[in-house]
């Protein structure tokens, strides 16, 4: 389907409603190939349309979803929506706005199973004696937002995401994402070789006692931490309810001077989006600047309740949970190798999982390391380490940033839900003190 076809569907839905209405359409077209034990076992192709319809009558609202484009069924859906109207405290119109012209994060390439499979075959070969696991996601998405009040928004993105997990007696994980298919072709060999080197370094791991150590979190590990901070601390819903550790602390210095975090919806590498799902216009802005909390994620409702300027962060359709989706943590001026070379004794964490929030007001987070944990001694990686559990306050950790690498990577959430790809640009960060509370036998 093309842009005009999608607008035609949305306009038809608006004509079916005798009440003010808003329509959002997600049209996906992609291949997904999963591989395990060094062979492709799940090649899939999907073409799907997901349509959300919101009906408004005064202070009553209802939302319904469908993947049908048949006029008769759409009529039934609209009538059903009228029967489901419920009162809401805040109901906002989506009036026409001038959307700034911006380049789409879109690369016109052919979806090709054979080309994608050949990349996976090469990844398997590079892994040698290691069993190769992972997946390759490649395709396109079109997003349309149309309101009977006059707002019209359209966006299209392409996404390519390669995940590699080599497993034998040890394991390692690497991933690479880009809206350009050509970037995958140019970089997959280096990504696979990097993953293999981590797996080899991680063979025959030693163990160390739990305790506090200088720790380097890779961009991959840091992404899981940032996701929790984003959801539990940076949303204005939590801020307004007083359950965010940042509540009442806007424009206060909370972290190290080295911490500079930005929301960049106009960054092409982060899947450019020029509008949110309430019809507000997006722009880039600081979230944390030199350690000072400058902004939280706001939508219409919470900008009104908090008397703050809206920053167009209604990023979940027809939801009142504003959140950032295009975070960029600015890098420093040293490479990861330089940081390792300056570390007398410390630990390098490649990846984490089972990550959970323990105590929100101190941002205490717990989780396990996996797929690469390494001991650094005298400026070199000495050996792999058996996995450990950490429990760490990130209010404290983010005040103890020793150095940030200049090596920034795009990390796309491999479990992003079907609405749209979610990515962050992150460096590696060294903390002067990081708490491990227990060790494992693997």
Q: In the chain, what are the domain boundaries?
A: 3-198, 204-442
Determine the pLDDT at residue 415: 60
Q: Are 267 and 105 in contact (CB under 8 A)?
A: no
pTM of the model: 0.95
Write the pLDDT tens digit of every residue in 207-265: 999 999 999 999 999 999 999 999 999 999 999 999 999 999 999 999 999 999 999 99
pLDDT bin (cut points 50, 70, 90) of residue 101 is confident
Sequence-separated (6 or more) residues with CB below 8 Å from residue 5? none
Mean pLDDT across 26-40: 95
Mean pLDDT across 281-289: 98
**pLDDT > 80? residue 418:** no
**pLDDT > 90? residue 22:** yes
- What mean pLDDT is reported for the chain? 95
Mean pLDDT across 156-175: 95
Write the pLDDT tens digit of every residue in 288-327: 999 999 999 999 999 999 999 999 999 999 999 999 999 9
pLDDT bin (cut points 50, 70, 90) of residue 184 is very high
DSSP E strand stretches across 148-223: 152-167, 171-178, 211-217
pLDDT bin (cut points 50, 70, 90) of residue 417 is very low
Determine the pLDDT at residue 230: 97
What is the H or E stretch that residue 81 is in? helix 71-83
CA atoms 185, 191, 192, 193: torsion sign: positive
Sequence-separated (6 or more) residues with CB below 8 Å from residue 97? 151, 275, 279, 280, 281
What is the residue-wise DSSP string for 309-352?
-------STT-S------EEEPP-SB-HHHHHHT-SEEEEEEEE
Burial of 292-328, coded b for 16+ CB within 10 Å and e otherwise, reads: bbbbbbbbbbbbeeeebebbbbbbbbbebbbbbbbbb
The region of weakest confidence among 138-147, 307-316, 412-421 is 412-421
Determine the pLDDT at residue 271: 93
Question: Rounded CA gap, 287 and 339, in Å?
Answer: 26
Does the domain formed by 3-198 have CATH 3.30.2290.10? yes
What is the H or E stretch that residue 183 is in? helix 181-201
**pLDDT > 90? residue 420:** no
Mean pLDDT across 46-53: 94
Write the pLDDT tens digit of every residue in 62-82: 999 999 999 999 999 999 999
Q: Which of 30, 28, 29, 25 is nearest to 8 (CA)?
A: 25
Question: Rounded CA gap, 75 and 81, in Å?
Answer: 10
Write the pLDDT tens digit of every residue in 336-371: 999 999 999 999 999 999 999 999 999 999 999 999
**pLDDT > 90? residue 287:** yes
Q: Are 6 and 28 in contact (CB under 8 A)?
A: no
- The C-alpha angle 259, 262, 268, rounded to 5 degrees, equals 135
Question: Rounded CA gap, 58 and 79, in Å?
Answer: 17
Pairing of strands 171-178, 292-293: unpaired
């Amino acid at each position: 389907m093309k842009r005009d076809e999608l607008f035609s569907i949305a306009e038809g839905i608006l004509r079916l409603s005798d009440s003010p209405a808003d329509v959002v359409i997600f049209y996906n077209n992609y291949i997904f190939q999963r591989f395990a034990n060094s062979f492709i076992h799940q090649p899939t192709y999907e073409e799907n349309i997901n349509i959300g319809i919101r009906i408004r009558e005064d202070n009553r609202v209802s939302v319904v979803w469908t993947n049908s484009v048949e006029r008769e069924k759409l009529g039934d859906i609209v009538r059903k929506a009228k029967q489901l109207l419920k009162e809401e405290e805040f109901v906002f119109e989506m009036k026409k706005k001038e959307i700034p012209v911006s380049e789409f994060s879109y690369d016109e390439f052919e979806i090709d199973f054979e080309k994608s499979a050949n990349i996976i075959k090469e990844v398997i070969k590079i892994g040698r004696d290691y069993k190769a696991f992972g997946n390759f996601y490649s395709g396109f998405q079109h997003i349309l937002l149309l309101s009977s009040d006059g707002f019209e928004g359209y966006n299209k993105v392409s996404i390519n995401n390669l995940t590699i997990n080599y497993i034998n007696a040890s394991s390692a994980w690497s991933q690479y994402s880009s809206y350009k298919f050509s970037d995958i072709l140019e970089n997959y060999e280096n990504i696979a070789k990097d993953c293999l080197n981590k797996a080899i370094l991680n063979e025959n791991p030693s163990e160390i006692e739990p305790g506090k150590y200088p720790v380097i979190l890779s961009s991959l590990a840091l992404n899981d931490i940032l996701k929790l901070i984003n959801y539990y601390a940076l949303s204005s819903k939590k801020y307004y309810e007083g359950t965010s550790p940042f509540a009442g602390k806007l424009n206060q210095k909370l972290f190290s001077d080295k911490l500079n975090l930005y929301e960049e919806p106009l960054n092409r590498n982060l899947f450019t989006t020029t509008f949110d799902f309430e019809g507000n216009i997006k722009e880039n802005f600081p979230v944390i600047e030199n350690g000072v909390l400058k902004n939280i994620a706001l939508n219409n409702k919470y900008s009104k309740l908090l008397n703050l300027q809206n920053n167009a962060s209604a990023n979940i359709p027809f939801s009142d949970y504003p959140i950032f989706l295009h975070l960029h943590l600015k890098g420093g001026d040293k490479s990861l190798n330089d940081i390792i070379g300056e570390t007398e004794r410390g630990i390098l964490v490649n990846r984490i999982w089972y990550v959970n929030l323990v105590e929100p007001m101190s941002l205490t987070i717990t989780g396990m390391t996996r797929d690469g944990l390494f001991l650094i001694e005298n400026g070199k990686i000495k050996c792999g380490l058996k996995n450990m559990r950490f429990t760490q306050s990130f209010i404290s950790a983010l005040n103890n940033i020793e150095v940030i690498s200049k090596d920034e990577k795009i990390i796309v959430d491999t479990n992003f839900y079907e609405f749209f790809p979610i990515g962050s640009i992150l460096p590696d960060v060294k903390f002067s003190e990081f708490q491990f509370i227990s060790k494992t036998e693997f």
